[in-house]
Structure 1
């Protein structure tokens, strides 16, 4: 299980070191006794074993470039063409037709709903006016 840096803390009690890992319950921690005095910072990986738990930490290391880029590829997304590459290849050229049809369908549905919604708002407004008038002595 991976643990973020803000999900655990170290504690010392009676000369022993403990790690307290937050649980799903608010302000509750699972406490584990540690065999050494190492206190790591950053994200931790906790492995549950038969004899206890293992704590692994992340280490920063230098990376080595494995490849050399020969061709630089650019990708652009748009409405008329979903993807266009720098080699003049186009993907999803019919996207605008599909999106336009879906938009027009939703627009028609909402046009039919608008009179109903406006009538409901008007009735609610009338009901609230009547209620306020009846509430006054």
Structure 2
């Protein structure tokens, strides 16, 4: 259990740091403040830690039970969870999801969604490297 919690915590920290390092909107690339990045990383860590716990721990439990050690499994799970939370964000805070060509750029689907999806998906590699490649190992020893 310690391996899983350590891997989950570092995965969430990686997702928060990656998301905080990508400026939003993209026009603010010139104004990069390291203190803002650190503060945003801390806030995002606690937000992601509790919001993503149920779907991620369900996927981790399935991987442990079925001894799934593929990094592609963790990438796919985090991609689905990140896409779900991105669509939930747009449905809640951007007055619904409307993919018409006229509204696509106005609502910032690419600028707002790409950092969330990319940071969530890439953080799966951190979990796989720390914990996922040993999934189900305790069952093989019995």
Shorter-chain TM-score bucket reads under 0.3
Q: Which has the higher contact order (CA 8 A, sep 6+)?
A: 2
TM-score (norm 1): 0.19
Higher strand proportion (structure 1 or 2): 1
- Look at both structures and tell me which one has the larger radius of gyration over its CA atoms: 1
TM-score (norm 2): 0.19
